[in-house]
Structure 1
Amino acid sequence: MRIILVHGNCHGAWCWYKVAAMLRSQGYSVTAIDLAACGADPRRLPEDISTFDDYSMPLMELVAAVPDGEKVVLVGHMFGGLSLASAMDAFPDKIAVAVFVAAMMPDVNHAPSYIFDQHFKQSPELYVDIDFNSIIVPGSSEAITVTCLDPEFLASKLYQNCTFEDLTLASMMVRPTSLFLEDLSKRQAFSKEGYGSVDKVYIISGEDASIRADFQRWLIENNPVNEVMEISGADHMAMLSKPRELCECIKSIVDKFAD
């Protein structure tokens, strides 16, 4: 069964290189994708990408192309959880299980932006160190909030348990992006029939300094899942700080839900 790895905001497919290599070496079919204007994707924000649908389109197209009768396993990290939810809502019959790795996981009762509102309330100090810039979308009077993570924030909030080499790679590879909250706040909740019908597993990063473990548990309480796992000692970038442990978690999930 094919595994699709979805990165979080400002990142790209490159951040999965350790986990993808481990899974492939053990015979699993793995695709790590770049969402729009991320990683090696040539599009730019906001010139080419200005909505959440634009941003998530590479994943939507990939899942749409899955042949009828086949299913995939989706694995999403941080903001990638919202892209997973969109694919789950649109193609519930094509997804065997969705795995949220220290990811923002929406519910079926509130607009998708609700979980970010709650995160802002519970961790306001986190956003003091992030630069948010409002940029007018070309050809429109509407603005979009764009951000990029600086090296100090990466080191202290995301990569504190990673190697210096991986932190250096991140500082060279991250790109500006948006949380598209202007867009997500106007949307209806994801549906029970689509998103709500797909099996879900949440993997908690025990030493996450960005989406802290207590908030990850709140996300699970807000939207219960089929199974919860936890990786002790993992910072926000579990795929880099604890790749072997994350790989084992994904393997056990695939083996369980592939039947």
Structure 2
Amino acid sequence: MVNFVLVHGSCHGAWCWYKVKPVLESAGHRVTAIDLAASGMNMAKIEEVHTFSDYTKPLIELMESLPPGEKVTLVGHSFGGYNLALAMDKFPHKISVAVFLTAHMPDWTHSPSYVLDEFIERTPPEGWLDTHFSSDLDPVMPQTTMLFGPKFLAFKLYQLSSSKDLALAEMLIRPGSLFKEDLSKCMSFSEEGYGSINQVYIVCKKDLTITEDFQHRMIENNSVKEVMEIEDADHMAMLSKPNEVCCCLLDIANKYN
């Protein structure tokens, strides 16, 4: 039995794994889909979450609660790749493999914000469509929050997903943050921690947000053990191609646990 921990991306919550979780469980595995701070059913508000570490706290607490000797398979989607990196750095002895599903994948040679800065630089303002950004000009801990708009959801994230899943997202997304200001001040992830763990990247070839080209760019900058690809998967691959995602995860479970 493998213990999967599923980590969502910005503005989303554990709910986005609803198609994947029961399939993995029916194969005999334990699956925990978590809500990060101010996400899903977590009661905090994004304005109360001042640092990336605060945002990742639910994942860190879960990792701390694991019994001695128990390891997990971490799966991160989109910005959730950053949460994986932090957990990998802190708990390398508790992780069998980390799976990046069309996710941001920082390296350990640059500032944690390096990949994010590059991603933002490559995304023109008009590429965000109707996403709403709001800046908190706190001189000590400035923060930019965002909320994906209906057009951005429909045309950049869920373009190959069902109308039901798009409607679900429109009802359940919450304001989030990329914590760019905080990540720019954090220490680099370490090769001894983050870099020591088996990493698998699942490329989603029809992702219009984190494009295939950018996914491969991140892969080339890291020691990725294996690369898998899913054809015709949009950014929300767990919803548009759930069976293919599950097949990848079950294959990974067999190889690395």
User: What TM-score results when the alignment is normalised by the length of structure 2?
Assistant: 0.96
Q: Which moved more, 1:210-219 or 1:111-120?
A: 111-120
SS where residue 18 of structure 1 aligns?
Answer: coil
Alignment of 1:24-43 (within 5 A): 24-43=25-44
- Structure 1 counterpart of 2:174: 175
Cα pair 1:120 1:127 within 8 Å, conserved: no
Cα pair 1:110 1:188 within 8 Å, conserved: no
Cα pair 1:10 1:177 within 8 Å, conserved: yes
The whole-number CA distance in structure 1 between the counterparts of 2:39 and 2:164 is 21
Report the alpha carbon displacement of residue 5 of structure 1 after superposing the two structures with TM. 0.3
Letter in 1 for 2:33: A
- Structure 2 counterpart of 1:229: 228
Report the alpha carbon displacement of residue 162 of structure 1 after superposing the two structures with TM. 0.3
Report the alpha carbon displacement of residue 141 of structure 1 after superposing the two structures with TM. 4.9
- Structure 1 counterpart of 2:119: 119
Cα pair 2:129 2:149 within 8 Å, conserved: no
Letter in 1 for 2:160: N
Unaligned 5+ segments in structure 2 are none
- Structure 2 counterpart of 1:248: 247
- Structure 1 counterpart of 2:56: 56
Cα pair 2:129 2:152 within 8 Å, conserved: no
1:105 corresponds to 2:139: no
The whole-number CA distance in structure 2 between the counterparts of 1:126 and 1:188 is 30
- Structure 1 counterpart of 2:24: 23
- Structure 1 counterpart of 2:202: 203
CA 74–187 in structure 1, closer or farther in 2 if over 3 Å, else same: same
Report the number of matched residues. Answer: 255
SS where residue 40 of structure 2 aligns?
Answer: coil
Report the alpha carbon displacement of residue 175 of structure 1 after superposing the two structures with TM. 0.2
The whole-number CA distance in structure 2 between the counterparts of 1:159 and 1:190 is 31
- Structure 1 counterpart of 2:165: 166
The whole-number CA distance in structure 2 between the counterparts of 1:85 and 1:113 is 12
CA 240–131 in structure 1, closer or farther in 2 if over 3 Å, else same: same
Alignment of 1:7-18 (within 5 A): 7-18=8-19
Report the alpha carbon displacement of residue 121 of structure 1 after superposing the two structures with TM. 2.6
User: What TM-score results when the alignment is normalised by the length of structure 1?
Assistant: 0.96
Identity, % of aligned pairs? 54
Q: Deviation digits for residues 88-135 of structure 1, max 9, x if unmatched? A: 000000000000000000001011110011112323252464322102
Cα pair 1:98 1:200 within 8 Å, conserved: yes
The whole-number CA distance in structure 2 between the counterparts of 1:24 and 1:4 is 12
Cα pair 1:104 1:115 within 8 Å, conserved: yes
Cα pair 2:112 2:183 within 8 Å, conserved: yes
Report the alpha carbon displacement of residue 144 of structure 1 after superposing the two structures with TM. 1.0
- Structure 2 counterpart of 1:194: 193
CA 128–165 in structure 1, closer or farther in 2 if over 3 Å, else same: closer
Alignment of 1:62-101 (within 5 A): 62-101=62-101
The whole-number CA distance in structure 1 between the counterparts of 2:120 and 2:228 is 25
Report the alpha carbon displacement of residue 28 of structure 1 after superposing the two structures with TM. 1.2
Report the alpha carbon displacement of residue 65 of structure 1 after superposing the two structures with TM. 1.1
SS where residue 230 of structure 1 aligns?
Answer: strand
Cα pair 2:234 2:240 within 8 Å, conserved: yes
The whole-number CA distance in structure 2 between the counterparts of 1:192 and 1:64 is 21
Q: Deviation digits for residues 50-81 of structure 1, max 9, x if unmatched? A: 11011000000101111121110000000100
Q: Deviation digits for residues 119-162 of structure 1, max 9, x if unmatched? A: 1232325246432210256xx75321000001110000000000
Unaligned 5+ segments in structure 1 are none
